[in-house]
Amino acid sequence: MFFISFLFLLNLFLSPYCIIKSKNDWVDKSMKSSKEIIYNYHKQTKHRPYRYARSLGYLDWDNEPNPFRKFQGAEPIHLPILPVKFSPPFHEALFQPEHIIPQSIHIETISHFLLHSLGISAWKEYRGSRWAVRCNPSSGNLHPTEAYLIFPLQLLNNNHSLLLHYDPSEHKLEKRAIMTQNNWEKQGLTSFAEYPCFFVALTSIIWREAWKYGERAFRYCLLDTGHAIACLTFSALSLGWNIHYIGISLQNLSISLGLNRPEYTHVEKEFPQILLMVSPNNIKQEKQLSFAIKNPILFDEWFGIPEKISPQTTDWDIIEEVSSAIIESSEEFYSSFIKAPTLSEYKDKYLPHISTFTPSPPSFDLFKQRRSAHALDINAMLKQKDFFQILKGINYISHQLLRKIIPLTPRTSLLFFVHHVEHLTPGIYLYPLCQGHFEKLIPSCFKEVSKVENEDNLPLFLCQEGDMRRIAGHLCCGQEIAHDGVLCTCIFTDLEEELKNYNGFPYAPLHWEAGFWGQWLYLESEIFNLRGTGIGCFFDDEIIRIMEGNKKENLLVNPLYFFTIGKPIYDERIKTYPPYSET
């Protein structure tokens, strides 16, 4: 009796600690909500100066993943590589879409669309090793992103609806599955076939990133997806096409793409990311299209077997957990999205006029020219008008475009570490895209701020003056490119606040959004004869320490991604070759 009472008292005494403990790492997995799992994943995969996120710690070259997945036995459809007949200036395609003549959808235009978004842009060679670079960048050039197209019936005179996998190595489509007209109608998809349109779905083979980066890999897959979404968007706009997000739960997207089918049992899994719809922008819709698909799209017949990309893989439990949690939380998001599946555009806010934008090169040349810088010239400078052009573009995209393509956006803001921008005092500048960030961040992080006067009244605030080169370099794991650029930027959010919604699902769109900004910064850098590099290696919590205000609440600044811009120093030893034999 005494013993039982003793245990009871002991339990009472310890219970507050047990509760605290259970909120963190030790709780039984089944007891945690998706939101907790996702938040915990983010915490556990932070890099710290003396403790990086967990990874193997060496590169297991015997199991290096193949960057190209192929489906053995799937019928190939080779896409023609023809000279580009239309390629509007990039800024015109983006800011004046109504001026772009919409190209009709056929095999040639689809070929251009994919070639200039996810296709190979060059082969590189150094000391006997060769590697491909693509229009879309990827952390470590590991390219976890896979793309699938769904063609409704008759789009290309096809008698069946088709599910096709894109293989950039040979610029071809692989026929994965077909569906009869009867079945398409039975599944209530007819409204999508009334207009010329097709779908693009993105997935990630997380193992490709995990091979090198271990537990942090899931973040990189989300960021890479954001880059790929931006590449598809910019390529579509250059063809006079619209691109829209389609709400479908990730579980249903997975079933639609066959990712749970038996042929995946012995190969590396693919994580479903997003479904987009593409259609020419002159299509007048008599009735408002629904932007949601309630059930999985069920194909009738499947072809091909996915090839393994590594002889052996290493499992990272935390990645399994977080990817399941995102899929689960997506149900909660989609069930509310389905009630009002329209994506309104903000027309009411600031709308920059195209004439105020600098001239830009033809879109498709620009997309193929984009590369990451590996070393930067510390003496370079960015013109002030070019800096404001970058900001204007971000403002325009966040108000006019992004919400159609990525749900729940914009929910990030940018902190700029300005090193050398004409007429701007070096220091930290805040460019808030969410009002909440401005209101909460300023009082808690910075002593005093001043608005930077500019003719477009853009919301840019000088928060802290000083030479930030050393700090930016330190924040980015000591990488010199962050120190030597003309500027470095941190794309951040208030993660705790955002993850309160939809059981943590916003974790995915927040990273897609950050990746989208990264792609914008890559392309703008090229336009100004500079070069950018995305930076996924950063010390997550160090940013708090460098802010003058430095209070506990500063934890609301959660960096998702960094980006640096500068004048590239080329490595002449690396040789460049054309992407495909036809070009």
DSSP-based three-state secondary structure for 267: coil
Instruction: Compute, in degrees rounded to 10, the torsion defined by CA atoms 514, 393, 375, 142.
Output: 40
The Cα 305–Cα 303 span in angstroms is 7
User: Which segment (15-23, 55-63, 216-224, 277-285) binds ligand FMN by CB under 6 A?
Assistant: 216-224
User: Which segment (33-41, 186-194, 221-229, 449-457) binds ligand FMN by CB under 6 A?
Assistant: 221-229
Q: Over the Cα atoms of the chain, what is R_g?
A: 24
Query: Which is it for strands 161-167 and 172-179: parallel, antiparallel or unpaired?
Result: antiparallel
User: Which segment (337-345, 388-396, 446-454, 533-541) binds ligand FMN by CB under 6 A?
Assistant: 533-541
138 lies in the binding site for ligand FMN (CB under 6 A):
yes
Query: Which is it for strands 71-72 and 487-493: parallel, antiparallel or unpaired?
Result: unpaired
* Structure token pair of residue 445: 């992080």
Helix axes 217-238, 507-527, angle to 10 degrees: 60
Q: Is 153 in contact with 184 (CB distance < 8 Å)? A: yes
Using the minimum distance from each CB to ligand FMN, give the nearer residue, 304 or 536. 536
* Minimum distance, C-beta of residue 93 to ligand FMN, in the bound complex (Å): 21
User: Which segment (74-82, 87-95, 217-225, 359-367) binds ligand FMN by CB under 6 A?
Assistant: 217-225
Instruction: Name 570's bridge partners.
Output: none
141 lies in the binding site for ligand FMN (CB under 6 A):
yes
* Minimum distance, C-beta of residue 423 to ligand FMN, in the bound complex (Å): 29
273 lies in the binding site for ligand FMN (CB under 6 A):
no
489 lies in the binding site for ligand FMN (CB under 6 A):
no
Choose which of 45, 225, 310, 479 interacts with ligand FMN (CB under 6 A). Answer: 479
Distances (CA, A) of 280 to 10, 236, 239, 342: 69, 9, 8, 18
Choose which of 35, 160, 175, 371 interacts with ligand FMN (CB under 6 A). Answer: 371
Using the minimum distance from each CB to ligand FMN, give the nearer residue, 224 or 484. 224
Using the minimum distance from each CB to ligand FMN, give the nearer residue, 224 or 268. 224
533 lies in the binding site for ligand FMN (CB under 6 A):
yes
Q: Which residues contact 59 (CB under 8 A, 6 or more apart)?
A: 211, 212
User: Which segment (79-87, 135-143, 233-241, 288-296) binds ligand FMN by CB under 6 A?
Assistant: 135-143
Choose which of 65, 67, 89, 137 interacts with ligand FMN (CB under 6 A). Answer: 137
Q: Which residues contact 134 (CB under 8 A, 6 or more apart)?
A: 118, 119, 120, 121, 143, 168
Given its phi and psi angles, is residue 141 left (phi above 0), alpha (psi -120 to 50 degrees) or beta? left
Residue 496: φ, ψ to 5°: -60, -45
Q: Which of 247, 237, 244, 253 is nearest to 278 (CA)?
A: 244
* Minimum distance, C-beta of residue 201 to ligand FMN, in the bound complex (Å): 20
Q: Is 563 in contact with 394 (CB distance < 8 Å)? A: no
* Minimum distance, C-beta of residue 322 to ligand FMN, in the bound complex (Å): 17
Choose which of 164, 223, 309, 490 interacts with ligand FMN (CB under 6 A). Answer: 223
392 lies in the binding site for ligand FMN (CB under 6 A):
no
User: Which segment (134-142, 284-292, 317-325, 326-334) binds ligand FMN by CB under 6 A?
Assistant: 134-142
Using the minimum distance from each CB to ligand FMN, give the nearer residue, 102 or 140. 140
* Structure token pair of residue 8: 């009871």
Using the minimum distance from each CB to ligand FMN, give the nearer residue, 96 or 141. 141
412 lies in the binding site for ligand FMN (CB under 6 A):
no
Using the minimum distance from each CB to ligand FMN, give the nearer residue, 88 or 536. 536
* Minimum distance, C-beta of residue 460 to ligand FMN, in the bound complex (Å): 25
User: Which segment (78-86, 132-140, 294-302, 383-391) binds ligand FMN by CB under 6 A?
Assistant: 132-140
* Structure token pair of residue 244: 């829209």
* Per-residue DSSP letter, 247: B
Using the minimum distance from each CB to ligand FMN, give the nearer residue, 100 or 380. 380
Using the minimum distance from each CB to ligand FMN, give the nearer residue, 122 or 452. 122
* Minimum distance, C-beta of residue 572 to ligand FMN, in the bound complex (Å): 16
Q: Is 343 in contact with 244 (CB distance < 8 Å)? A: yes
224 lies in the binding site for ligand FMN (CB under 6 A):
yes
Helix axes 217-238, 317-337, angle to 10 degrees: 40
Choose which of 87, 103, 139, 242 interacts with ligand FMN (CB under 6 A). Answer: 139
Instruction: Name 21's bridge partners.
Output: none
120 lies in the binding site for ligand FMN (CB under 6 A):
no
534 lies in the binding site for ligand FMN (CB under 6 A):
yes
* Minimum distance, C-beta of residue 105 to ligand FMN, in the bound complex (Å): 28
Using the minimum distance from each CB to ligand FMN, give the nearer residue, 89 or 144. 144
* Minimum distance, C-beta of residue 472 to ligand FMN, in the bound complex (Å): 13
The Cα 355–Cα 194 span in angstroms is 36
The Cα 422–Cα 1 span in angstroms is 80
Using the minimum distance from each CB to ligand FMN, give the nearer residue, 161 or 273. 273
User: Which segment (13-21, 286-294, 455-463, 534-542) binds ligand FMN by CB under 6 A?
Assistant: 534-542
372 lies in the binding site for ligand FMN (CB under 6 A):
yes
The 3-class secondary structure across 160-202, one letter per residue, is: CEEEEEEECCCCEEEEEEEECHHHHHHCCCHHHHCCCCEEEEE
Q: Which of 366, 352, 369 is nearest to 89 (CA)?
A: 366
Q: Is 488 in contact with 387 (CB distance < 8 Å)? A: no
Q: Which residues contact 14 (CB under 8 A, 6 or more apart)?
A: none
Q: How many residues bind ligand FMN (CB under 6 A)?
A: 18
With residues binned 3-state (H G I as helix, E B as strand, rest as coil), the percentages for the chain, rounded to 5, are: 40, 20, 40
474 lies in the binding site for ligand FMN (CB under 6 A):
no
User: Which segment (26-34, 422-430, 464-472, 529-537) binds ligand FMN by CB under 6 A?
Assistant: 529-537
Choose which of 155, 434, 499, 537 interacts with ligand FMN (CB under 6 A). Answer: 537
The 3-class secondary structure across 67-80, one letter per residue, is: CCCCEECCCEEECC
Binding site for ligand FMN (CB under 6 A): 133, 137-141, 220, 223-224, 227, 371-372, 479, 533-537
